[in-house]
Structure formats: C-alpha cells, structure tokens
Structure 1
Amino acid sequence: MDLQLSGKTALVTGGTRGIGRAIVEAFAAEGANVAFCARDAAEVAATETALAGTGATVEGTVLDVGDGGAVAAWVDAVAGRFGGLDAVVSNVSALAIPDSPESWEASLRVDVMGTVALMQAAIPHVERSESPSLVAISSVSGREVDFASGPYGTAKSALIGYMAGLAFQLAGTGIRANTVSPGNTYFDGGVWQGLETGAPEMFTESLALNPTGRMGTPQEVADVVVFVSSPRASRMTGANVLVDGGLSRGIQF
C-alpha cells in the first residue's frame, strides 16, 4: 500500500532510540523527509549518519522537549527549512514511574507539557498541509491500571484526553489528531531489557501477561504510527489505537 507520504515532512520528538527511532526510519522508508530531536548529541549524529542513504532528508536536533520555548523555536525553524509540516509525532517520555514528587514533575513537564508545546507550535504549520496529522504516543498504562500507574500512567492518560480534545476542536480545519498506545515493547537499551536483568521476576510476570507470548518491537509500533499519520488514514481522528498484542483486556466502546 502506498501511504502517500513521499515528499511529505514529518517531525518526531525522541527519534534516536526505540519506538522513536523506528518511527523516523519508517517515515524515511516511505519517502518522507524527517526532522527529529533528542537530548544526546552523539545519538542524534549517529541517527543522521545511519539514515543518510535513504534518499529522504533526515535532520536531527539536540533538544530537551521539557523546554517549551525551545520546542516552539525548533518547530518554526523546521517548518521554515522544509517548507511546512505534514505529520507531527510526540514520542518523548520522561519514563518517570516511581511515585515521587520528582517523577510527577518530570511527567507533567516532559510527557504532558512537552506534547502541548509541540502541538501548539505545530498547528499553525500543519493546517497549511493537504494532509495534516498530529499523533501522540501514549501507552496501555494510560488506560490500564498496572505497575506504572502514578506519574507515568496519569500523564499517558492525560495525553489520550488531550489529543481527543484536539481532534474535536480541529476537525473543521482538516487536522487529524490521534493517539497510539503501545504495550510492552522490547528493544536494546530499553526499559524492558533493563528489567530483564535488573528485576527478572517482574520481567517474567509482565511477559506472562502478553497472550502472544512475547513483547512487541519498535517497528511494529512505528508501522501503525506512520499509517495513522498518512493520508490513507484520512477518516481517522480522535482515536486511541492500541498496539499491544492483546495485552489490555478492556473493551473500547
């Protein structure tokens, strides 16, 4: 299926590792030009180098999405250099799970307000696109009570509500807004790999909750994100799309 993304411009936060890196790669594979950010300069440079031969323009920037002013400046600069924006993906998370004041602050500043700052800055640019899309990466922890309930889960729930609100508010402009909620996603250097060795009992218990018998991969999530962001998903807005291999048990009405 041609996702009709060739020549489009996508912007992705947190694009050097895990799900974010896979999203950048998937957009580039579809012929879209991609601007991404992350905090680690070496990882930004390595990602740019790795994707230099894709035929698409892939540009990285060192950025802390917890700095709303810096996010807005980056979005405006990217839109100026690329001639606009078509698809925006908010992927960064503080991954602040412990129930502490520091985790609450980080989750609200990075996960929630980082997404709000990104979307507010992007809306004036994407509304000039022929196929404007906004996507936020949430989590099954945003709709299920689990070990990450607390700062992380609450922030992820807030993202689902925020994006649904944007979908309603922006429907008349043609801008689509959706959330994609991954389940357990395993990758090198990720949370689950760390727990596999650092907390093996918890890892085993969590793995057993997956009826498929395995955790997901970043590519499996990225494929859904890129489809939802594409013109082929033109009727999809206000949705929270689960990519969890049947992990969550609740029925979405």
Structure 2
Amino acid sequence: MDLGLTGKRVLITGGSKGIGLACAEIFAAEGAAVSICARNAEGVEAVVSRLSGGGATITGSAIDVSQRDALEGWVTSSAEKLGGIDIVVGNVSALAVSDDEEAWRAGFETDMMHSVRLVNAAMPWLEKSEAASITFVSSVSGREIDFTGPAYGAFKAALVHYAQGLAYRLAAQGVRANTVSPGNTYFPGGIWEGIETGNPDLFAEALSLNPTGRMARPEEIARAIVFLASPASSFTTGTNLVVDGALTKGVQL
C-alpha cells in the first residue's frame, strides 16, 4: 500500500529513541522529510546522522518540550528547513508515575501542554497543507486504571479528549487529529528495560497481564501511528487506536 507520504513534511517530538525513533525511521523510509526533537543532543545527532546517511531528509534539535519558547522555536525552525508542515506527531511524556504534586505538574507541562503548544505552533503550516494530520501518543493507562500513577493516566486520557475536540473543530479545514494508545512497549533505554532490572517483580507482573506473553516492539506501535497520520488514512479523524496485544479488557465502542 502506498501511504502517500513521499514529500510530506513530518515533525516528531521525542524522536531519538523508542516509538518516536521508529516513527522517524518509517516516515523517512516512506519518503517523508522529517524533523525530530528530544532532550539528549547526542541522541538526536546520532539519529540525524544515521538516517541522513541513508538518503533521508532529516533534521533535529535538542530541546525540552516543556519549555514553550524552545518548542515553538523548534516548530518554526523545522517548518523553515522542511518548507512547511504536513504532519505532527506528539510523542513525549514526563512518565510521571509517582503519586505526588510534582507528578501532576510534570505531566501537565510535558504530556498536556507540550501537545497543545505543538498544535498551536504548527497550525499556520498545517492549515496550508492538503494532507494535514495531528497524532498524539496516548496510552492504555488513559483507558483503564492500572498500576501507573494517577497523573500519568489522567493526562493520557486528556490527550484522547483533546484530539477528539481538535478533530471536530478542524474537520472543515481539512486537518485530522487522532491518538494511538500503546500497551507496554519494550526497547533499549526505555522505562521497561529499567523496570526489568530495577524492579523485576513489577516487570513480571506487567508481563503476565498481557495474553500475548510479551510487550510491544516500538516499530509495531510506530506502524500504526504512521498509517493513521498518513494520507492513506485520510477519512480517519477523531479516533483512538488501541495497540496493546489485547492487554486491556474494556470494550471500546
């Protein structure tokens, strides 16, 4: 299937590892021009070097997306370098799983406000695109109560609500908005690798809850994100796509 991504301009927050990196790799392989950001400069530089060496058009910056000026500056700079914006993927989380006020503050600024500011900053370019789409990475923790902290799940649920509202309000302008809710996803340097070594009992418990007997790989989630964001999914807007290997038990109607 041709996803229609050749020549499209894509921005991905948190694009240096895990799901964000897998998204960058797939978008680039599909012929899109990509801009990524993440906090770690070495990680960003390594991704840009590797993908550009393979012929991809890619740029990247090291920023903290919870800082409004830095995020807006990256969006503007990316649009100038790529010649516009067609697709944005919001993929950053504070991973604030503790049960305290700091977790709520971190989740609000990073998970929620980074998403709002990303959309607001990119909108002048999205409005000019013939294939504009917004995709947020939510979580199954926003769909049902689990062992994560209350702030994490609450803000992941809020992202689904926010995207649904955007889909309705922006439909007449041809801008789509969706979310993807992954289940537990394992990758080197990710939170589950740390839990596997630091809290093996929790890791074993989480693994036992998934009937597939394993966690997702980043590329399995990324394929869903890329398809949903692509012109091949042009009539899909306002949906939350759960990709969890049957982890959650609730029926999504």
TM range (shorter): over 0.9
- 1:192 is aligned to 192
Q: Secondary structure at the match of 2:26?
A: helix
Once the two structures are TM-superposed, the CA of residue 168 in structure 1 deviates from its matched residue by 0.5
Task: Show CA shifts across 1:166-196 (max 9, x none).
Answer: 0001010010000001001001111111111
Give the distance between the partners of 2:203 and 2:74, measured in 1 at CA: 37
SS in 1 for 2:195: helix
Aligned partners of 1:51, 1:116: CA distance in 2, in Å? Answer: 28
Moved more, 142-151 or 5-14: 142-151
Q: Which runs of 5+ in 2 are unaligned?
A: none
Aligned counterparts of 1:43 and 1:206: Cα–Cα separation in 2: 28
2:98 aligns with 98
Give the aligned partner of residue 250 of structure 1. Answer: 250
2:56 equivalent to 1:56: yes
For residue 53 of structure 1, report the CA deviation from its aligned partner: 2.6
Q: Is residue 96–residue 149 contact of structure 2 (8 Å, CA) maintained in 1?
A: no
In the alignment, which residue of structure 1 is the partner of 2:19? 19
Q: Given the alignment of the two structures, is residue 241 of structure 1 paired with residue 235 of structure 2, yes or no? A: no
User: What RMSD in Å do the two structures reach over aligned CA positions?
Assistant: 0.9
Aligned position for 1:224 = 224
For 1:97, give the aligned amino acid. Answer: V
Instruction: Give the structure 2 partner of residue 89 of structure 1.
Output: 89
Q: Which residue of 2 aligns with 1:2?
A: 2
Name the structure 2 match of 1:67.
67
| Partner in structure 1 of residue 135 of structure 2 | 135
How far residue 54 of structure 1 moved from its aligned partner, in angstroms, is 2.9
Deviations 1:8-48 (A, max 9, x none): 11000010011111111111010101000011111111111
- In 1, Cα distance between equivalents of 2:32 and 2:251: 34
1:74 positional shift: 1.5
TM-superposition CA deviations, 1:51-92 (whole Å, max 9, x none)? 123322111101110011221121122112211111100001
Q: Which residue of 1 aligns with 2:203?
A: 203
Letter of the 1:13 partner, please give it: T
Q: Per the alignment, in what secondary structure is the counterpart of residue 53 of structure 2?
A: coil
SS of structure 1 residue aligned to 2:52: coil
**Residue ranges of structure 1 left out of the alignment (5+ in a row):** none
Contact kept? 2:210, 2:247, Cα under 8 Å: yes
Cα shift at 1:148: 1.0
Deviation readout 1:179-222 (Å, 9 max, x if unpaired): 00100100111111111111111111110111111100000011
Matches of 2:106 and 2:8, distance apart in 1: 32
Query: Residues 108-154 of structure 1: CA distance to partner in whole angstroms, max 9, x if unpaired?
Result: 00000011000111111111111100000000001110011411111
In structure 1, what is the equivalent of residue 79 of structure 2? 79
Q: Aligned partner of 1:48: which letter?
A: V
TM-score, scaled relative to structure 2: 0.98
Q: Aligned residue pairs: how many? A: 253
Contact in 1 for aligned 2:135/2:229 (Cα 8 Å): yes
Residue 118 of structure 1 corresponds to: 118
Runs of 4+ in structure 1 off by over 3 angstroms are none
SS in 2 for 1:45: helix
Secondary structure at 1:51 match in 2: helix
Distance in 2, matches of 1:251 and 1:196, equals 29
Is the CA contact (8 Å cut-off) linking 2:98 and 2:149 kept in structure 1? no
Give the percent of matched residue pairs that are identical in Structure 1 and Structure 2: 53
- State the alpha-carbon separation in 2 of the partners of residues 195 and 212 from structure 1: 19
* SS across alignment from 1:52: helix
